[in-house]
Structure formats: C-alpha cells, structure tokens
Amino acid sequence: MSTSIHLSLGQVAASLALVALAAAISFWRRTDLERDIVVAAVRSFVQLTAIGYAIKLIFEADTIWLVLALLSVMVVFGAFTARSRATKVPGAFWPLLVGLTIAAATTLGLVVALGIFDPTPRYLVPVGGMVIGNAMTASAVALNRLGDEVSDSRAAIEATLALGATAREAAEPFVRRALRSGTIALVDSTKTTGLIFFPGTMVGMLLAGAAPTDAVRLQLILLYALLGSVAISALVATGLAYRNFFTPAQQLRELGE
C-alpha cells in the first residue's frame, strides 16, 4: 500500500476558489455564513498544518508514548467539544471523556489484537483520529438528545419514579432513544456508502494511486471500526450521563440545580 502523492501549496491555494464560491453563494442568498466559511477555511488550514507537522514528528520519533499522548489530547479536546453540544446534561464532561477513552482504547486495542494493523504510529495515529472524531460526534448527538428527552419528559419520568422505579428504570426509554440517535447517522451512512457517496479514506487512497481493491478493503476496516467505536462511546456516555439528572434518593433534579 505504499503510495505517494506530492501536492504544492499552490495547488492547495487554488482549491480556495471553491471556498470563495461557497462564500459568494452565502452572500448572494444572504445565509449570513460568509464569516463562518472564511473562519472554517482558515482554521482547517492552521489546524491541519499543525497536526501534519505533529504527525511528522511522531512518525519520525516512532515511539508509542507520543502516539498515546496525541490520542489523549484528542480525547480531552473531543470531550470538551462534545460538552458544548450537550448543554442540558449536567456534568456532561466526565461521561464524554470516559466514553471517548473507552471507545478509542477498545477499538484500537481490537484492531491491533486481531492483527488488522501493526501497533505503529503510522496506523494508530490516523485510525485513532478517525475513531475519536466519530465517537465525539456520536456521543455529542446522543447526549444532546438525552438532554432534550429528559427536559421534555420530566412529568413522565417523575410518574415512573413515583411508582418506586429506580432512576435507571425511569430513564431507560430516554437513554435508549438517545443511544439510538447517536448511532443511527453512521449506521445509515454506512448502509449507503459506495452507492450515494465515496468515503474519505477510499477517495484519498484512490487519489494517491492505490489499487481500488486495497482502497476498498481499508475503507471497510475503518467503517467497521467506526461502527464499533461510535456504539461504545454513545453507550458509555449515555449510560453514565443519565445518572447526573438524579439525586442519590432517586429524585429527578430541578433544572439548573
């Protein structure tokens, strides 16, 4: 799978024409997104360039500790980012952090243990980044939904608690729906992959000159790994976060308490 492709900064700059087009459409149709589009383009350039150099350093150092350090930073930032989408969930950071950590550790541990990838920076860094990114999105969606469900269904939850059900039993239908909504986007996109869109890894490998069969196999491995990591992170995050809505005496906390 050793392929290489060399792109100049000039080629990257030329692709900014598409960003300009997006900004022009926003200006023309008054969607008020021009500023965000420019910020997104600049941030992606700075962040990807920085991570590119960081990855280069890690590849050259070739030590597992630097890989673990980078993945840990990603997990912490991922939990912070996801928390901003889960504002209705009290104390959402820790469930997210634990969910992302377990998802990343389990997924990467399994792909190495099953002999799919070697435990080297070249594999662990990109795969870890994808796993953590997707797990972050899924657990953010799941906790966002959980917050909405619980605040919309306080009467139903209290009615179940009033029967002497535990917090876990009272929250169960809402946790289930939250878990489902966190996972379903990736399940649906996995179903349609290859029909409606080409996933990024496959496109990247084809552009870099890899054989289509190699590109497809790598993409399948990643899709399956992502399904696992997304389910694990959403399960752990919702399974921990729902507890924060309740007191030790199995009472539903007041909003903002």
Partner 1 sequence: MRAVLFELRDVSLTRGERRVLDSVDAEIEPGATAIVGPSGAGKSTLLRLLNRLADPDTGTIAYRGRPLDSYEPLALRREVSLVPQLPALLEGTVESNLAYAAGLAGKQLDAAECLRHAGLAAEFAARDVSRLSVGERQRAMLARSLAQQPGVLLLDEPTSALDSEARDAIEATLRRLRGELDISLVLVTHDPEQARRLTDRVIRLG
Cβ proximity to partner 1, 135 vs 161, nearer residue: 161
Cβ proximity to partner 1, 115 vs 256, nearer residue: 256
Cβ proximity to partner 1, 156 vs 227, nearer residue: 156
Task: Please state the closest distance from residue 185 (CB atom) to partner 1, in A.
Answer: 24
b/e per residue, 53-83, with b = 16+ CB within 10 A?
Answer: eebeebeeeeeeebbeebbeebbeebbeebb
**Around Cβ 113, how many Cβ atoms within 10 Å?**
9
Give the total residue count for the chain: 257
Task: Please state the closest distance from residue 141 (CB atom) to partner 1, in A.
Answer: 23
CA distance linking residue 213 with residue 232, whole number of Å: 29
Task: Please state the closest distance from residue 95 (CB atom) to partner 1, in A.
Answer: 24
Cβ proximity to partner 1, 172 vs 214, nearer residue: 172
Task: Please state the closest distance from residue 183 (CB atom) to partner 1, in A.
Answer: 21
Cβ proximity to partner 1, 35 vs 154, nearer residue: 154
Task: State phi, psi for 115 to the nearest 5 degrees.
Answer: 75, 20
Task: Please state the closest distance from residue 82 (CB atom) to partner 1, in A.
Answer: 29
Q: With the CA atoms of 132, 209, 190 and 236 taken in that order, what torsion angle do they form, in degrees rounded to the nearest 10?
A: -10
Cβ proximity to partner 1, 84 vs 151, nearer residue: 151
Task: Please state the closest distance from residue 181 (CB atom) to partner 1, in A.
Answer: 17
Provide the binding-site residues for partner 1, judged by CB under 8 A.
155-156, 158-166, 169, 173, 249-252, 254
Q: Where would I find the H helices in 62-90?
A: 64-83
Cβ proximity to partner 1, 125 vs 170, nearer residue: 170
b/e per residue, 137-157, with b = 16+ CB within 10 A?
Answer: bbbbbbbbbbbbbbeebeeeb
CB 71 within 8 A of CB 121: no
The alpha carbon of residue 197 and the mean position of all alpha carbons in its chain are separated, in whole angstroms, by 19
Task: Please state the closest distance from residue 148 (CB atom) to partner 1, in A.
Answer: 17
